[in-house]
Structure 1
């Protein structure tokens, strides 16, 4: 019978060890919680929703955890216990109203707030600003990111420069397996999909360097789907554009086909790219139609005479 007496102490030791292990593991996460350190209006609103939802859930979770500990300690089996014994007790209208009513109210509040934020933060909804947005076309590849600036006529790979305090209209697609575009400090992620052009508005309120990443499993080197984001004053951004135009080579059709081959890539820049490249990427899998979401409408490419003749012959 001696081992049975030691069992409660073994359980307590295991619980204490688990607690210590949890503290050690979580303390090792010394990196900054970038989602909770937003640098743009979209990130600010999403952070507020996360904090509000967490505090609202804590209204239920914290009392439940505290009461659980109190009940386990108060009503544990011990010699001389004076706790009331009510084996026939099975119903309390007051208690059931409390433990059902409070969660229901919290769910209603959380649902209302979430719906409000969902509509306010619709990815394709333009950001209110006195400044005109800049457009950047994003293509996810295996395993790299291609950024094209149609207004500036330049392109980059695995790094992104944007003007400070200016809305950015991202048009996104994929020429590889589906991925997810994410700059945590500026806003939530959005999927990139073959044959579709998605729209996402973001803005950096402060100059600085930000972390960007793919947030989807997409094969062998998915962990290297990262890119650097640098927000800078407008004058510095314009100077950067001029530098890229003056010092970089052009991205040709053949160059893009080589870039699109599966493989990792270092940061690159291009002084020019084919004018209709983004449209061709979006419509290459749907030559007879167009796919768009949230305003990023891309017209299909016109058919050649040979394609039209083949189409009519098939009917």
Structure 2
């Protein structure tokens, strides 16, 4: 009954809530995490979703086709319409956060996510007892790690989460570059071509963690509600829906998997149709029904 009442209250606020965005800076030790906090107008003490971007991405994510609006910016607005706040962050070394991209590691990004989650729990503008997590691609792997470390997270939605890093990053950068990175020293730099174009340079310490990261192992420590959303036409996190179902196999708690007729970017680089008709509604639904 309580869950139903919470859902009804959030739904009734949907027509009133508009997005009010404000930049935030979270100092933690010698680093600073930059983010955008989106607060729905007219909603007192709203629940909040922490949004974690993908590999080589940034807090707004890539622009939706025909617009200058990032996929995460769009999602933050959709959440706000349902009376839900959000915080989308740049991992250290990405976007406006401090640090250098070449120093990125999975454990470093996980710590950034934990620090941002803990910060949200202290903020008077949101309900720190109702913090959810949305992770995309590598951010999905990090989101699983975060949920394992912070099992009090109220709900978790993972878009195309990386479940087998060795296979995924071999697809993205090439098996030869992964082998070179694994053989390199911690501070040695490896430059690789990316499967979608462009290059990236990372140190050996990033590659050394690739075989050690397990989204399934982390999610086994999270008892809360989990929704995994994947594309049937995936070419990066493959095979689907098997890769997505791996998380459900190890997770114990409320869960489901949503399979969309899309690729890794949910078609958003060519059209906003799937994002508007399926991706956003399925994401908002999970949070509203579990907050």
Normalising by structure 1, what TM-score? 0.21
